[in-house]
Structure 1
Amino acid sequence: MSNYLVVNAYSENEIIIDRSRFICYMDRAETVDEAQAFINKIKKKHSDASHNCSCYIVGQNKLHQKANDDGEPSGTAGVPMLEVLKKNDITDTVCVVTRYFGGIKLGAGGLIRAYGSAVSDNLKKVGIAIRKPMQVIEVIAEYSLSGLLDDRLSDYQIKNKDYLEKVYYYVIVDADAVLQFKDWLVNLTSNQVTINEMETELCEVPYIQD
């Protein structure tokens, strides 16, 4: 497993350019079927619109990509929408921009800017998340160490904690930082805990762009 970026959640946003309404709908889609179902849903919702242009990128390796101009001049709608997703390096994302024509023709350049802006504005609104492989670490400690561990592990994501004959912590750690985490725990507790590497999970955290 490797890191990859996705849109944070479902989102919609509207911009108006020269009296034309551009309503952007964006959501996650992990399969082509999910992406197409989302597109069909929006097209049905706005069956009276001038255009329902769409694009998607699906797969961790971005294998499935598609853009549709839905009647706009070729290359002026779906492609610039898709380019926004590609520029932000995100996948498993589907997008539809619904246009209600306002009576003023925008020209090819104007359409490219309008559809691209509709997607980029919505993406800025909803944000991006990063999915990355994380290691679940089992930490087994005596009850006498629980106060120390509760305090010092507060900066980590605790998946679960069990109180049995000892205290069992299940801590989610970046897969690249497992060795460092284990060394830190050994030093913190003077090697008085048992540490086991459990399953690897694909977890999601906010993506902070430079």
Structure 2
Amino acid sequence: MQIFDNIVTDRGSKYAVSGGPCATGDDAKAFIKTLCKTKKFAKATHNTWGFVGVNGPVKNDDGESGAGMVIVRMLQREGLTDHIVVVTRWYGGKHLGGDRFRHVQTAVRHYLDQL
């Protein structure tokens, strides 16, 4: 599991990105459970994730509507399969509108650049 913290800060909201091997929905649940053992990630407003497995894409928006699909599309374009990417957001009190999708993309791009 790789974790990159403080990737983006905007209007009080903070973003982190993490990821690791993942082939099934059960693997994804186990990954999120492990990530959330860290109190900081358990208290996050959103832990949005996606991966592309043998049965196709799997995603979870965790209340950040549409963000899971942004992650999946980026993984598909990159050709990265059997690998989960989680974008974590701590809400800062101000709505970000469409900027939140740009921040998700920035976080995923940061993660992919580290591979």
TM-score range, shorter chain: 0.7 to 0.9
C-alpha distance in 2, partners of 1:56/1:44?
21
Q: Secondary structure at the match of 2:93?
A: coil
Q: TM-score, normalised by structure 2?
A: 0.85
Structure 2 counterparts to residues 98-177 of structure 1, below 5 A: 98-107=88-97, 109-125=98-114, 127=115
Q: Is the 8 A contact 1:35 1:93 kept in 2?
A: no
Percent identical residues: 34
Distance 1:115 1:42, change over 3 A: same
After TM superposition, give the deviation of residue 37 of structure 1 in Å.
Answer: 0.8
Q: Which structure 2 segments of 5+ residues have no match?
A: none
- 1:96 lines up with 2:86 in the alignment: yes
Q: Is the 8 A contact 1:39 1:95 kept in 2?
A: no
Residue 49 of structure 1: which of 36, 40, 44 is its match?
Answer: 44
Question: Greater CA radius of gyration, 1 or 2?
Answer: 1
Aligned residues: CA RMSD? 1.6
Q: Is the 8 A contact 1:20 1:103 kept in 2?
A: yes
C-alpha distance in 2, partners of 1:41/1:80?
23
Q: TM-score, normalised by structure 1?
A: 0.49
Q: Is the 8 A contact 2:8 2:107 kept in 1?
A: no
The one of the two structures with greater contact order (alpha-carbon pairs below 8 A, sep at least 6) is 2
User: Quick check: which one's strand share is greater?
Assistant: 1
After TM superposition, give the deviation of residue 44 of structure 1 in Å.
Answer: 4.2
Q: Which 4+ residue blocks in structure 1 deviate beyond 6 angstroms?
A: none
Specify the alignment match of 1:38 in structure 2: 31
Match for 2:103: what amino acid? A
Residue 62 of structure 2: which of 67, 70, 75 is its match?
Answer: 70
User: Quick check: which one's helix share is greater?
Assistant: 2
Specify the alignment match of 2:73 in structure 1: 83
C-alpha distance in 1, partners of 2:30/2:56?
15
